[in-house]
Amino acid sequence: MRVACIGECMIELAPRAGDEGGGAFTLSFGGDTLNTAIYMARLGQQVDYLTALGDDGFSDRMLAAWSAEGIGTGHVARLKGRLPGLYLIETDGAGERRFHYWRQQAPARELFALPGTAELVAELARFDLIYLSGITLSLYGEAGREVLLDALVNARRHGARVAFDTNYRTRGWSSAAEARQAMAELLKLTDIALTGLDDEQALYGLTLAREAVHRLQASGIDEIVVKLGRRGAIVAGHDFMTEVAAETVGTPVDTTAAGDSFNAAYLVRRAGGATPEEAAAAGNRLAAEVIRHPGAIIPKGAMPALT
């Protein structure tokens, strides 16, 4: 199976371990769909990352790091004289994070408005699974989203499936109404929907997982995952709804990329023939390890066995 993850990678500044609040930061790279791509690659999945970068040294280092992780970079556009976006993470005593962004001029925002966009759209039809998020949608604006939706229609016509994580961040949108509308259009083309109860409450005022499941089923989606944080996740189809308990964890160090890593393990295990319940258990296991470490990407040696 060939997987395409679409989105943005940014320069990440995270508090240095042991110096939280002291002003020392570690520089790395991250972004929600990029995090998922890295964890998918580490789990043995063939995956390409589709985005746009600058021609600067940071962009060079990103590409080198992705290649070292086994991620395909043949569909990364490079824009002359541009720099990638940047975000800074703050974490509280419980490991919960807050993000600060500098990304308005990031090249990734122009991915579906470049001279090579038509070629990219055609190439998407060659993938078996296309993964993207609400953050991905927030990058492009209305015109870019229309091109993306047309690309997904074409890809699905050629047999591709679409996995979508709502991953709602208020600063990426002019309003919650804009986000709801854009996501509603994308959900019409979604085969696997992944959401979080916090997203459902922020966007739709829903407080119960079953309400989120019913909302997504009304969009015609047969495979649904509602992530519940420390409680685990709900998986649902047209004839079942099951809660899968989370792994036991002490005090989290940093919850960054918990949902991204869950998605990676879930999608890889499903592609390998696991049931939704088995895949969600694997997602919970990987997420539990990720939140024991600072930053989005844990050391390779800390990757847990998922089978």
Q: Which residues are part of the catalytic machinery?
A: 260
**CB of 140 within 8 A of CB of 15?**
no
C-beta neighbour count of 175 within 10 angstroms: 9
Residue 251 three-state SS: coil
Contact (CB, 8 A) for 194 and 164:
yes
**73 near 63, Cβ under 8 Å?**
yes
* Tokens, residue 259: 């949902």
Write the Ramachandran bin of 81: left for phi over 0, alpha for psi from -120 to 50, otherwise beta.
left
Task: Say if strands 129-133 and 86-91 run parallel, antiparallel, or are unpaired.
Answer: unpaired
Cβ neighbourhood burial of 302 (10 Å; 0-12, 13-18, 19+): exposed
Task: Report the distance separating Cα 164 and Cα 133, nearest Å.
Answer: 5
Count CB-CB contacts under 10 A for residue 207: 10
